[in-house]
Amino acid sequence: MVGAGPGDPELLTLKAVKAIASATVLLVDDLVNDAVLAHAAPNARIVYVGKRGGCASTPQAFIEKLMVSEAQRGEQVVRLKGGDPFVFGRGGEEVEALQAAGIVVRVVNGITAGLAALTSLNVPLTHREHAHGVVFVTGHAKPGDSGTDWVALAHAAHQAKLTLVIYMGVSGAATIQSALLQGLPSDTPVAIIQNASLPSQRHAVATLATLYDTLQSERLGSPSVIVVGNVLHGLQAAHAADASLALRAQG
C-alpha cells in the first residue's frame, strides 16, 4: 500500500520509488499522477482502478478481491493511492481485507494533499501564535452516515485554535460554510487550493464569510482542499493589500 503523494512526482518517498520499481502488478487510483509510474518496471502490469473519463469508480469490493487474488498468485502487488494511503481514501479498509486473507502488507506513507497544499503557499499547518493543532476532516461522509458535526468542530477549532483542513469539501462547501459560521468568526481566513503540487495548481484566499462565493467566482473545483484558520492570516493580509492596490490602480 503505497502513498503516491499529491501529484508532483518529486514528492514521492524513496521507499515509495523502491516499492513501485519492485512491483509486478500496480493497482492505481485516479488521483495518482501518471508520472509516478515512470518508476515501474517495464514489464509490470498496470491496472487503473479509479474513475477515469466519468466512469463509475471500480467497486471497492472488486479492488480488494483483485489485490488478494494477485497476491495469492505470487505477484508483488503495489496498491498506489493518492497522497497518504491512510488519510481518507479507504486505505484502512483495504489493509483489513488483505490481512483477513492472510496477505502480508506493508504501508508506505505519502505526502497528504492538505500538507502539500498549504506548504505550496508557504503556510504552516501549525504556528505557535495561530494554531495549536490541525484537523484533517472529510466533507464527504459514507452514504447513510450523518457525517461531520461542523458546528461542534467550529467551536472546537475556535476554542482550541485548530487549523481545519477539509478534504472532499467542494460539493458540500455551502453547507459546511454556514455550519462553520456558527462557531468561528466570519473573518476567519480561508484558502482553497486545487491540484496542489501540480503545474495546474490554482488557489484562492477568502474568509469564512466569502468561502462559497469565492469558490464559484474563481471556478475552483475538485480535487481541492479547503483550509480554514488563522495560520492563513499573513497570506490573507497580503491578498487584501494586493486587492486594494488593484482597486486603486483601476481608479
Q: Do residues 173 and 164 touch, judged by C-beta distance below 8 A?
A: no
Stretch that binds ligand SAH, among 48-56, 180-188, 192-200, 210-218 (CB under 6 A): 192-200
How many whole angstroms from its chain centre is CA 98?
24
Q: Shortest approach of ligand SAH to residue 3 CB, angstroms?
A: 7
Q: Which residues are catalytic?
A: 29, 51, 168
Q: Shortest approach of ligand SAH to residue 169 CB, angstroms?
A: 7
The answer to whether 220 contacts ligand SAH (rule: CB under 6 A) is no
Cell digits of residue 26? 500496480
Give the residue carrying C-alpha cell 488478494: 68
Q: Which residues of 1-15 are buried (b: 16+ CB within 10 A; e: fewer)?
A: bbbbbbbbbebbbee
Stretch that binds ligand SAH, among 20-28, 38-46, 196-204, 234-242 (CB under 6 A): 196-204
Q: Shortest approach of ligand SAH to residue 113 CB, angstroms?
A: 3
CB of 184 or CB of 196, closer to ligand SAH: 196
CB of 64 or CB of 84, closer to ligand SAH: 84
Judged by CB under 6 A, which of 88, 153, 192, 220 binds ligand SAH? 88
d(CA 18, CA 169): 33
CB of 53 or CB of 251, closer to ligand SAH: 53
Q: What mask of x and - would describe binding to ligand SAH in positions 168 to 187, judged by CB under 6 A?
A: x-------------------
The answer to whether 150 contacts ligand SAH (rule: CB under 6 A) is no
d(CA 69, CA 27): 12
Percent helix, strand and coil across the chain, each rounded to 5? Answer: 40, 20, 40
Q: Is the peptide bond preceding residue 42 cis, with omega within 30 degrees of 0?
A: no
Nearest to 231 by CA among 158, 131, 154, 134: 131
Number of residues that bind ligand SAH (CB under 6 A): 25
Torsion angle in degrees (nearest 10) through CA of 193, 195, 197, 203: -30
CB of 112 or CB of 148, closer to ligand SAH: 112
Judged by CB under 6 A, which of 70, 167, 176, 177 binds ligand SAH? 167
Q: Shortest approach of ligand SAH to residue 61 CB, angstroms?
A: 19
